[in-house]
């Protein structure tokens, strides 16, 4: 039974050894251990603070990115609208110019047709006048072949002409 119950001397020496180890630990090891624990605690606090700052910076960057993305979308929409408006204006301008050019060409064609028509009518009139003169000349030659007919014609012209 002696193994189970400790003796008084053993308890005394264990207590003395414990106190000596406790004294030595408190004198030499306790301060460095506590210092290391405080440094570790400070490092952990600093890391948590830095993590919190990084989190806040990430949120700020995310907000900035969202704002820039929104601005870029608005700019893209504005550019697309301007390009569409410019294309519409260009198409309308080209259509108007084409219509004006078509109207101008039609008007030129009308004027050209009128001029050609007048020229053709003038030519027909000239041809008719020439033919009339030729026919009249031939008729007069045939009728005025004798001298008596020529004198009658001259007398008739003189009577039609009144000399004042």
Chain centroid to CA 127: 65
Rounded to an integer, what distance in angstroms lies between the CA atom of residue 138 and that of residue 134?
6
Rounded to an integer, what distance in angstroms lies between the CA atom of residue 87 and that of residue 149?
86
- Tell me the pLDDT band of 153, cut-offs 50, 70 and 90: confident
Q: Pick the residue with more confidence: 11 or 18?
A: 18
What is the predicted pLDDT for the residue at 27? 86
Task: Encode 12-33: b = buried (16+ Cβ within 10 Å), e = exposed.
Answer: eeeeeeeeeeeeeeeeeeeeee
Q: What are phi and psi of 102, to 5 degrees?
A: -65, -45
Kindly report, residue by residue over 54-96, the tens digit of the pLDDT.
999 999 999 999 999 999 999 999 999 999 999 999 999 999 9
What average pLDDT does range 92-104 have in this prediction?
Answer: 93
**Closest residue by Cα to residue 153 from 135, 141, 164:** 141
Chain centroid to CA 140: 84
Pair 47, 41: CB distance under 8 Å: no
What's the half-sphere exposure (Cβ side, CA atoms, 13 Å) at 117? 6
Helix then strand count (H, E) for the chain reads 3, 0
């Amino acid at each position: 039974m002696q193994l189970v119950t400790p003796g008084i001397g053993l308890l005394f020496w264990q207590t003395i050894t414990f106190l000596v180890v406790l004294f030595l630990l408190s004198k030499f090891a306790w301060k460095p251990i506590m210092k290391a624990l405080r440094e570790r605690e400070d490092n952990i606090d600093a890391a948590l603070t830095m993590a919190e700052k990084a989190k806040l910076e990430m949120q700020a960057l995310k907000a900035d990115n969202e704002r820039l993305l929104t601005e870029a979308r608005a700019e893209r929409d504005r550019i697309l609208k301007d390009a569409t408006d410019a294309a519409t204006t260009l198409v309308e301008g080209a259509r108007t110019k084409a219509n004006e050019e078509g109207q101008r060409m039609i008007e030129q064609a009308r004027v050209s047709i009128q001029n050609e028509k007048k020229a053709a009518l003038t030519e027909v009139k000239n041809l008719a006048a020439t033919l009339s003169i030729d026919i009249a000349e031939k008729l007069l030659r045939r009728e005025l072949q004798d001298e008596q007919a020529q004198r009658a014609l001259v007398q008739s012209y003189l009577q039609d002409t009144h000399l004042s």
